[in-house]
Chain A
């Protein structure tokens, strides 16, 4: 596969917290436009894995190459990768002292050096896409959780990233707000965005994922297309996990 078709390539990557071996010999290759869902029990290292991709966590050995650039101690490389990688967090992490619009235009203005007018135009376009343009002048604290998460997605998209990372984007939401966020994510997937999502929304996985990755104890246990993954899981830990979350 030529480099230009690979979005993320991780090989033999290890991550430690002190002496705790959090990720063990991870190998993963994500093609451009591919949608990956990562799932697994709590503490299995799935969040740590995607946080390594934009260097919110540092790995200790092995290599991570994002869009042809290798993540090492070179700060310029890290900045370049972060510019091209959007991330959505479990707790939204909007900037509470800025309005919704200011949240969206901050990085394009400072990092992409766009003019204010240009950045605002792009921001309004994405806010319209996540269906909350009318909230542009409010502060995050005035919005519901679902609305905040949609703003967080719009904010990441304003940087026009090549890859979007989702770290349990619906886990902190009230049940009635989950679907509004998932709808936005499905729309994004249909537009061909490269997406790596840590989520327990198996309906979403079935609908959009090209591959589902199951992790346990810091290792990738099973990796399969969704229909195979849900109907004929091979590994017994996968079967147990699916039994638990689909059982009720």
Chain B
């Protein structure tokens, strides 16, 4: 084959796609220039004229032409670790790494049995909690009240998902119960919780619940908020799972029944594995939302990563540098959420093999 052919074709494709009429040319040039200007301005601000080191802080401030990354250099530990004791912050960093590694390991197909996945996450989560909380193995105890920053965000997200997902499965199955009064009661509960704003649920669990619960049930404020959030998550996720179950052809359940499989075997081996496949895009969507909405815990006085960011520029020394701090926090959110969506896309591609 002629080696120059593809290049010519590409050139022609470029011409037909972007320059085929006078209007196309105009639009292409106009938006091209706009994009170039935006990118250049960002580059100029963020890199060329930026101040990188906290020692050159004087160069920042009003009238400075570039970004003041010095604020990150000076305050990154506050942003990442919040109020966690300074000399113990390596634990918080290690704990985050453990959860990230656990998440990475769950991508490996070897872990894709219910038992292995559960064991992996319980191990990862317990390690995280021991590292953060301390009080054993010679680690100083750090109560939840002093947790903050990225590790708090991850802790809330991971616990909400780990508690909420099994709860969601139970809700979805109850919602599909053959006994109408169970199915209907569950439906009403789900609808009721879904119609409340997350903020009010968190507030109720954090502030109101201690007045009505017996003393031994009250527990830590953070744990109560997580319980409330998990309940909220479970109601949404239950409907997602139910949708996945309903999209299965009825013959699947009948075939399993005809083979003599009992209810739990049918659910565990036939129904749920397929339902989760069908519900995967919606589930990833729900996880992304859940990760970002962890920032709402600030209203009951916890400094997750966004609130820690606010605190990082919230003094007279750095109060001009909010854009830089938000850009940094935004980047961290982006890394996690983008990784989640890529993971979802990877799962979809892999499972497509089993479809048709």
Contacts and interface: CB of A to CB of B under 8 A. Distances in A.
A123 B36 CA distance: 63
B262 A79 contact: yes
B270 A95 contact: yes
Interface in A77-123: 79, 82-83, 85-87, 89, 91, 93-98, 106-107, 110-111
Interface stretch (B146-154, B219-227, B252-260): B252-260
A110 B265 contact: yes
B259 A159 contact: yes
B258 A110 contact: no
Among the interface residues B252, B254, B259, B353, which one has the most CB atoms of the partner chain A within 10 A? B259
Range for the number of chain A residues in contact with chain B: 20 to 34
A139 interface: yes
B259 A139 contact: no
B355 to A, nearest CB: 6
A91 B251 contact: yes
B354 interface: yes
A85 B258 contact: yes
Contact of A110 (B269, B273, B274, B353): B269
B252 A93 contact: yes
Interface in B175-234: none
A82 B253 CA distance: 13
Given A56-B254, A139-B354, A83 B260 contact: yes
B259 A141 contact: no
B277 interface: yes
Contact of A141 (B256, B261, B355): B355
A54 B353 CA distance: 33
A108 B335 CA distance: 45
Contacts of A94: 255
A89 B254 contact: yes
B269 to A, nearest CB: 6
Given A91-B251, A93-B252, A139-B354, A107 B274 contact: no
Contacts of A85: 258
12 contacts: A79-B260, A83-B260, A89-B258, A93-B254, A96-B355, A97-B273, A97-B277, A98-B354, A111-B260, A111-B261, A111-B265, A155-B259
Interface of A: 54-56, 79, 82-83, 85-87, 89, 91, 93-98, 106-107, 110-111, 139, 141-142, 155-156, 159, 165
